[in-house]
A and B are shown apart, each in its own frame.
Chain A
């Protein structure tokens, strides 16, 4: 077990040494006379040898020792850097890589390699007896005259760095994620409590006003009628003793109680202000913590780019082209997970660039270009994203060829006109490759569609720009980290989903009448874009859509926008996305699950899969009859408790409830949502119940939406007025729960025009 742990450390360390060596060897190849870096290479080989021996990987250690010897010989000027020497160095490096990859897989070392390397050593260091001397030395494992200084170096390094396993960082990140969820929850709760405080304040001020009105109205009339029964006070004249009648005492008491409430509210408000300040502080710290932790699991883009140096050299060599590889922004840090998954897409693009983009040297010269083509990889950070550009200065993408091929494949109609961006977008369509035959360099039967999919899985986007004769740029935009993601929440058919913001171009409001169900398009500024109804795609029944609904516009393929119609956009938040797990990993329409502030689960929609891959029939649910649409009731009352109370009664019976505190708010709700029934109070600030009835009639809604009055005014005069304005029923507070429900049921039973 201990040795296994040590090996893991060794493997992590070895990777670093190999990167140093590979980079160094390639530099050496470019500049054989530049030997300033040789000491570093020597040290890398030396450390590799020592560490390998320590974990009993003797073959690796032996090969590293050979490498060390050659480097030492170069450093001391005994061997000069020639082509064969470079080749030997690279080959030996490959040998070590092979050994290490086997060890990583848990296999034993391939011991034959040591002999092969030693054999090949003779070709570049003839006449020396290195081979023999090594085998003798090696028996004693790690000997060393250099041991003492090396140790000191190690200590210096260790004092500042600790190795941490990626899993540990992952766990920390998950914990930060949990904190984020909790923090979001607390934030949303305090918001609610502050609202509640406002409500109580408002209710209190109404109470005071009522009391004052009441007492001022009766203050003058009452004293005359009252005969004082208190024998003790009979002797006083009125101005001599401040005598309180019962009413005065009562209002005085109410004032006192209200003062107490106000005081307590003030205290609790102060507490809440401090409390939310603290939560905001937690929020900041949490964010910083996340940044710091995610930084620690980030890797410099340069290390990723480095891995292409050899590939480009080999590919260029094989296709007889001359290519110079340029990197920039190597210090830009990217998430380790992205780092690992980005290699294949980048490799694909680079392969394409070499085989299709960069011209033969002669062709380049004839075009007046430099004989050597250029491929550059550049990384930079933009806000919460990382942008990576892959650029070549080759012949550019032949748009005509793309067009012809698209027509041949049936993607485009002959003569169809479309923008350049849109045409380039076709390159990412499944099964599209411009070169008919696959060749060793670029083709593997996979096209740019796979590249785009891989990037989309990481919530990223890819775009391309090209200029004929000048070159092509592929731009990849990715989020900084994959665990905590900014998402947009929305509902469809009563289910709440989220989708990563990085995939979204914009959120729009859509007039339902503007949605062309035949052509499946919606208007977007001057044009119309393709639009799919999510409820239809997911076989759900839309809920809560009024005359307007919402749509999320995605730009999944460059130049090709698709809008997804949803029921309602419910919010935006930073959330933790967890994978669905092995049982459900085949559900490609979801990329994971998100946990909301209240601990609710929300599936993360994968728009790429949903919008582009046809829904397989085997996944289809058997239709189990049309589920009943919930009926929507709007409760209008300025009293919070009445709104709450009635809501609870109705929700328990399965109705969907909206609330408004006056007529004006009620009209706004009706504009936004389909309402089947209104229950309203008469006396309300801003717009009272009669006005609301009049407005509904003016809008021609009185016939379609029945209105039930729920008021404390019981007089016939009030009733008649309401009826004359179109109210269907009249209930007087306090009311019976059963009567309310019966009235609601009765009103909803009459068929409605919708």
Chain B
């Protein structure tokens, strides 16, 4: 960020309010986006408690300020090969007042437009939640 500002001649006002519409992230080199409207936050992934007998794409639950949040592994779900990473991030989404998270290896980015495969969050929620 610092570099950007130093090297750029762009006047400051153009920096002011970029309309952020999407949260983009990549899983094993494939790009995905989700609508900002469903984004509750991006957190550094802490300990995950596995839930035995759950489908393999559910890595478990993690604690987010005292709330248990289900953790979905998109790589497993989409059958994408991905290397193990030391540091991971959790994209926290909210649908119907329910939180759930998607794990990613690289820090997600907030941008003005969708990129790659757009995940329809409510549809995703309905499809992959366990009932």
Contacts and interface: CB of A to CB of B under 8 A. Distances in A.
Interface in A571-603: 578, 580-587, 589-590, 593, 595, 599-603
Interface string B61-73: 1110011101000
21 contacts: A539-B52, A539-B53, A581-B70, A581-B100, A583-B125, A584-B54, A584-B58, A584-B61, A584-B129, A585-B131, A586-B129, A593-B68, A599-B63, A600-B49, A601-B49, A601-B63, A603-B61, A615-B53, A619-B53, A621-B52, A621-B56
A178 B66 CA distance: 9
B47 interface: yes
Given A583-B130, A586-B130, A600 B47 contact: yes
A289 interface: no
A103 interface: no
Contacts of B50: 495
B81 interface: no
Given A581-B70, A583-B130, A603-B49, 4 more contacts: A589-B52, A590-B51, A601-B49, A620-B53
Give the bracket for the number of chain B residues in contact with chain A: 20 to 34
A603 B60 CA distance: 10
Interface string A598-616: 0111110000000000010
Contacts of A538: 52-53
How many A residues are at the interface, by size bracket? Answer: 20 to 34
B49 A602 contact: yes
Given A178-B66, A619-B54, A583 B49 contact: no
Nearest to B68: A593
B68 A582 contact: no
Nearest to B98: A582
Contacts of A622: 56
B63 A587 contact: no
A580 B96 CA distance: 14
Given A178-B66, A600-B63, A587 B130 contact: yes
B66 A583 contact: no
A495 B52 contact: yes
Interface in B25-61: 47, 49-56, 58, 61
B99 interface: yes
Given A582-B96, A586-B131, A599 B66 contact: yes
A583 B67 CA distance: 13
A531 B104 CA distance: 41
Given A601-B68, A619-B54, A584 B130 contact: yes
Interface string A202-231: 000000000000000000000000000000
Contacts of A599: 63, 66
Contacts of A578: 67-68
Contacts of A618: 55
A495 B48 CA distance: 10
A178 B68 CA distance: 14
Contacts of A590: 51
A583 B70 contact: yes
Contacts of A327: none
B56 A581 contact: no
- In the complex, which of the residues A593, A601, A602 has the most CB atoms of chain B within 10 Å of its own CB atom? A601
Interface string A617-630: 01111100000000
Interface of A: 178, 493, 495-496, 538-540, 578, 580-587, 589-590, 593, 595, 599-603, 615, 618-622
B112 to A, nearest CB: 29
B43 to A, nearest CB: 14
Contacts of A493: 52
Contacts of A593: 61, 68
A622 B58 CA distance: 12
By CB atoms of chain A within 10 A, which of B47, B61, B99 has the most? B61
A583 B55 contact: no
B49 A495 contact: yes
A622 B66 CA distance: 31
Contacts of A539: 52-53
B98 A581 contact: yes
B53 A601 contact: no
Interface in B77-131: 96, 98-100, 125, 129-131
A496 B51 CA distance: 11
Contacts of A615: 53
B52 A540 contact: yes
Contacts of A619: 53-55
Contacts of B99: 581, 583
Contacts of A621: 52-53, 55-56
A595 B61 CA distance: 12
Contacts of A589: 52-53
A583 B40 CA distance: 15
Contacts of B67: 578
A580 B66 contact: no
A135 B127 CA distance: 55
